[in-house]
Structure 1
Amino acid sequence: MDDKKKRLFDAAHVLFLERGFKATGISDIAGLADVAVGSFYLYFKSKEDVFVQVYNRENEDIKRQILKKVNLDGEPVKLIHEIIDQIFKLSSNNAILKEWFSNQKLNKIIAAKNETAVQDSLIYSTLMKLIDRWVSEGMVKENMSKERIISLFDALIIVDFHQSEIETDNYYQLMNDMIEGILKVILK
């Protein structure tokens, strides 16, 4: 990454963590990076553009931390609930990740710019390995193919990308209920 771009990215990361998206301006980012405001536009199209890039890195960093903490060999229902619980806890204490849940406009931008981000993510690749293990260890119901299991989890991801359209005061509980339902369908 070019030095100026890295400084701008790092400054945006710091400011988005400290202030959130709305309270951070491009001039703030450029000032902290010691770069002219006009130079910002050589590297990023907009504040939303740099935010999505910062969000993606932050999201993957948090997921990496979560996967280091959990026992991937644990009982599937407990394991998945633990991962989801950690995602919600760490996201709610992080001004960058909190935007996914609290800012409908950014939620839609992130979803639109990240069409393949889910499949490329650390959590998704770990889930694929878990599904393979569950199948090989005979933990999955006979009528469940790997493709069907993946489709169920993909549907859950689609719900998450459209969470701003779901009217509920407890999205966390909704996700847990859906995960529990999926696991009851696939596991013996």
Structure 2
Amino acid sequence: MEEKQALLYKAAKTLFSKGGFKSTSVAQIAKEAGLAVGTFYLYYPSKEKLFLDIFLEENAALKQKCQAQLDVTQEPKEVIAHMLACNSEGMRSSPILREWYNRKVFAKLEQVYRLEHGSEAVHFLYDTFVELVGRWQAAGKIRNDIDAATIMLVFTAIINIDVHKEEIGVEHFPRLLDTITSLVMDGLIQEGRHA
């Protein structure tokens, strides 16, 4: 990363962390970096693109942190519960990642992402987990009549429920998330043991 681009990136990360995406302008980012607004556009086509780059970096760091804490020798239910809790806590504790819950902001970011990456999705630890799910299936720990990719989509759906917590009711949300996770895992484990 060039020096000026790095200054913009660092300034934006600071400002986005303090004030959020919507309250931060390109002019503020340029000023914080000590550069002209025109310089911003030499490196980034939009505020959305810069924020998305920062968001993806934060998300990757969270994935690495959660993966480092992962004990794959535990039973599937414990591993999944740990990963979902780690992801949820990481999302809540990072001002950048918390923007995931702001539907208006994330709709804009998703458009930028899809333009750049097509329909390819950002999966939470997808590569690590799809392999682990395959091993659990081979060992008879979870059902094997559903392919590993579909099981990963179920886990992704559980993570994405967070986006709807206001509609569900924030006061009910943690209990609901635990219940859904438990029901899904019980279904995968019980069926796996009978297969």
TM-score with structure 1 length normalisation?
Answer: 0.82
- Structure 1: any 5+ residue segments left out of the alignment? none
1:116 equivalent to 2:120? Answer: yes
> Which residue is equivalent to 2:139?
137
CA RMSD of aligned residues (A): 2.5
Asked if the contact 1:156–1:178 (Cα under 8 Å) also holds between the matched residues in 2, the reply is no
Give the superposition deviation at 1:37. Answer: 0.7
- Over the matched positions of the two proteins, sequence identity in percent amounts to 26
Deviates more, 1:157-166 or 1:23-32: 157-166
User: Are the equivalent residues in 2 in contact too, given 1:100–1:107 (CA < 8 A)?
Assistant: yes
Partner of 2:153: 154
Q: Give the match for residue 128 of structure 2.
A: 126
Following TM superposition, where does structure 1 have runs of at least 4 consecutive aligned residues deviating by more than 4 angstroms?
A: none
Q: Does 1:12 align with 2:12?
A: yes
**Deviation larger for 66-75 or 51-60:** 66-75
Give the conservation status (yes or no) of the 8 Å contact 2:130–2:152.
no
Shift in Å, 1:166: 7.6
User: CA offsets per residue over residues 51-71 of structure 1, 9 Å max, x none?
Assistant: 111111111111211111231
Specify whether residues 165 and 66 from structure 1 end up closer, same or farther in structure 2 by C-alpha distance, changes over 3 A only.
closer
Q: Which has the higher mean CA deviation after the structures are superposed, 32-41 or 104-113?
A: 104-113
1:3 correspondence with 2:3: yes
Q: Which residue in the other structure is 1:89 paired with?
A: 89
Alpha-carbon deviation of 1:5? 1.9
Q: Distance in 1 between matches of 2:156 and 2:20?
A: 24
Tell me: CA distance 1:155–1:83, structure 2 relative to 1, closer, same or farther (3 Å): closer
Letter aligned with residue 178 of structure 2: N
Aligned pairs for 1:18-97 within 5 A: 18-97=18-97
What secondary structure sits across from 1:167 in the alignment? helix
**Alpha carbons of 1:140 and 1:165: their partners in 2 closer, same or farther (altered >3 Å)?**
closer
Q: Is contact 2:30-2:36 (8 Å) kept? A: yes
In structure 2, distance between residues paired with 1:13 and 1:61 = 14
How far has the Cα of 1:29 moved from its partner? Answer: 1.2
Q: Note the 1:92-107 alignment, pairs <5 A.
A: 92-101=92-101, 103-107=102-106
Q: CA separation in 1, counterparts of 2:31 and 2:129?
A: 41
Match of 2:183 in 1: 181
Deviations 1:132-173 (A, max 9, x none): 22023221235x24x2x4213314535618934982124444
- TM-score for the superposition, normalised by structure 2: 0.80
Aligned pairs, number: 182
Q: Distance in 2 between matches of 1:71 and 1:177?
A: 22
